[in-house]
Amino acid sequence: MVVDKDKVKKETKTKESKSDDQDSDVKDLSVEEKIKQARKHLEDAEKRFQAMIEKRDGLHNEGKVLKEERDALHQEKRESVDKIIELKEERNTLVEKMRAHKKRRDQAQTDAKRLIARKRGKSQEMIQDVVGQIDELETEINIMDYKYQTGPLSMKKENEHLDEIKRKYQRLMELKKLKPDHEVLLGQIEDINERITALFKLADEEHVKVDKYYKKSQAVHEKIQSLNEGITHLVEEANKKHHEFLKFNERATHFHQRAMEMRNKILSIRRERKEVLSEAQKVLDMINLEVKKRFEDDDILDQAAGEAVKKLKNQGKINF
C-alpha cells in the first residue's frame, strides 16, 4: 500500500481548518457548551492519535519482519562465502597435487623420448644382423665344403668353388670380429628398451593420478560455481527485502510524524480545555460568592423569611 502524501496533507489541512472553525465557534458558546465541545475535540484527537500510533507500530512490525528476512539472507550469504573459501583451499590443494603428478608424467615422457632417440642412434650402428649373417655363412660354407668333398668337379670348377669358399670364409671371420661389439650394442638397446618401458609405465601411472585429481578439482570447482550463483540470488533477494523494508520504514516514519503532530494538537486542546474549566471555575466561584453575600445580608434574609412565611400561610412551597 502506497501512501499518497499530498492527499494526506490535504486531509490534514482540511481537518485543521475544520478544527479552527470549531475553535472560532467555541467563542460564541456558553461555558457548559465550551466544556462539552472541548471534551469532544479531545476525544476525537485522542482516537486519531491512537489510530496513527497503531498504524505506525503495525508498519514497524512488518518492517521488522522484512529486516529479519533480509538479515537471514545476508547470514546465509556469509556462510556461503566461508564455504567457498574452504572449497577454494581444497581445490588449490588438489590442483597442486595434479600439477606435481603432471610434471612427473611429462618428465617421464621426455626421458622416454630421449632414450628412443638414443636407441635409434644405436640401431644405426648395427644395421646389419651380424649373428644372422654368421649363421648363414657357416651354413653356406658347410654345404659348399660337402659339395666339394662329394661332388665330381672339373679342375676349373673346383678352383672356382674353392675361391668362393675362401671368400665366404673371410667374410665370416670379419663378421665374427664384429660380433662382440654387436652383442654390446644389442645389450645396450635391450637396456634402453627396458628403461623406455619403465618410463612409459610411470608416465601412464602419473597420468591416471593427474586425471583423478583433475576430476576431483573440477567437482570442487563446480560446487564453488553453484555457491557463487546462489550468492548472486541471495544478494538479489536481500536487496529486494531491503528496499521493501525502507518503504515500510518510510511509511512508519510518516505516520509517526503525523502522530506527533496530533499529540501536539492534543496537548493544545488540553490546554484550551483547562482554560475553559478555569473560566468555568471562576464563574462558579463568582456565583458562590454572590450567593454567600446574599445569605450573609440581613435585609435580604429578612425579606426572604417574610416571603416564605407568606407562602406558608397561603399553603405554598418555599423555594430556596
CB 268 within 8 A of CB 18: no
Q: What is the mean pLDDT of residues 249-276?
A: 86
Q: Is the pLDDT at 256 greater than 70, yes or no?
A: yes
Instruction: Report the predicted TM-score, pTM, of the whole model to 2 decimal places.
Output: 0.51
Q: pLDDT tens digits, residue range 83-134?
A: 999 999 999 999 999 999 999 999 988 888 888 776 766 554 454 566 667 6
Query: CA-CA distance, 145 to 298, in Å (whole number)?
Result: 194
Structural domains of the chain, with CATH: 33-299 (1.10.287)
Report the distance separating Cα 237 and Cα 306, nearest Å: 95
Q: Coil, helix or strand for 28?
A: coil
| Four-residue CA torsion sign, 278, 279, 280, 286 | positive
C-alpha distance from residue 115 to each of 123, 195, 224 (Å) = 12, 8, 43
Q: What is the mean pLDDT of residues 11-17?
A: 48
What confidence tier does 1 reach under pLDDT thresholds 50, 70, 90? very low
Cell of 62: 512488518
pLDDT at 173: 72
